[in-house]
Amino acid sequence: MIRKRILNFKLIFFILLSGHISSFGQLVVTEKTWIEDLNLQGGLPEKLLSTRTAVFDDYTLTQKELLEIQSYFQRIGIDAIIHFELDILFASKDVTKAVSDYLVKREITNLIFIEKDEQAYRISITTFSGKENVVEPKQAAWSTSNRLLTEALKTLYTTAANQQKKQNLLINDLPETDAKIDPIVGKRNEFYATDLKVDPLAVPKTGDETIDKELEEIFQNNYPLKFKMTEPGVTEKELRRQGQLYVMGFIYTRGAVAKELLGYDMTKTESALLSVTYPDNQQQLKNIPSNTPVFKFYFKHIDSGNIFLGTKWDADVTWQQALLNYIRGMKAELRLN
């Protein structure tokens, strides 16, 4: 149930938890999800009812369900000051770091994850690590699931009331959902980095031999400029010490969320997003439903944090095609052979 729903996201976040560069998660199947890697027998955070909490909700939760959740939090004494859509946390290493920075700024102590699928709701609660990875593997957590949201919330209510004294008294009536997460540290550029005609690009390996081989082949066969495959887990700071100036990055989440996180104009509500693709080296337009998870690649200047998105929205449903879209668009725009 829940396991099937988050299959495409789990390796990405699992690797983020381990402190590594994100991999292309949908190509690798693992039995463990990121949440199941926590110690779910660890119990509730000891300061759950006296400190601030951030909530990460499944994006399919209705407004009625969100109001019910917040109402229970008020009764329990959970000071849930901000709600995010859960898959934002999975989107990329840069996004996860931006979320972490926001949590630090808002003095968040606890994290609640609320998942939903056709058969059940699952509520999991743990502490915020205070680091870029948001939570540590195997850290203590509490979890309950039920086919009825109300019953899961009642279990939380009973457990918390039996273990802790309610100290949070002024709690929002309505869930706050308008926090802006900006993963772009430097300037946002809708063009390509011309300096790459001189400077080599760092291409981080994922740690999966099959994926890394295909990744290198795509660059060898399609990217006409200098690049270097770098080892998985190497930080950008270390890449810079090695002499690298640019690094490949990507985001993987629902198309509408990806565009918003990367600063595109989202004033129009669209059920499908028009993407430029190059299936056979010829530019084509492709409609992708806005709630379909997509990959969007970009190159980033390490020192400044400036990112180069390219001149067109070129996201795609597979990492291979999304990467080819970016490289082929760059070759056409910069007139590279």
Phi, psi of 197 (to 5 degrees): -65, -20
Q: The pTM is what? A: 0.86
Return the closest-CA partner of residue 107 out of 126, 88, 133, 79: 79
| Alpha carbon distance 226, 191 (integer Å) | 19
Domain boundaries along the sequence of the chain: 2-163, 188-334
For 2-163, which CATH superfamily applies?
Answer: Ribosome hibernation promotion factor-like (3.30.160.100)
Quote the pLDDT of residue 295: 95
| Alpha carbon distance 104, 131 (integer Å) | 9
Supply the DSSP string of 260-311, one letter for each residue.
HHTT----S--SEEEEEE-TTSS-EEEEEETTSEEEEEEEEETTT--EE--S
pLDDT of the chain along its 337 residues, tens only?
444 443 333 443 343 333 333 445 433 333 335 677 788 888 999 999 999 999 999 999 999 999 999 999 999 999 999 999 988 887 888 998 999 999 999 999 999 999 998 889 999 999 999 998 898 888 999 999 999 999 999 999 999 999 999 999 889 888 889 899 999 999 999 999 999 999 999 999 988 899 999 999 999 999 999 999 999 989 999 999 999 999 999 999 999 999 999 999 887 777 788 999 998 878 999 999 999 999 999 999 999 999 999 999 999 999 999 999 999 999 999 999 8
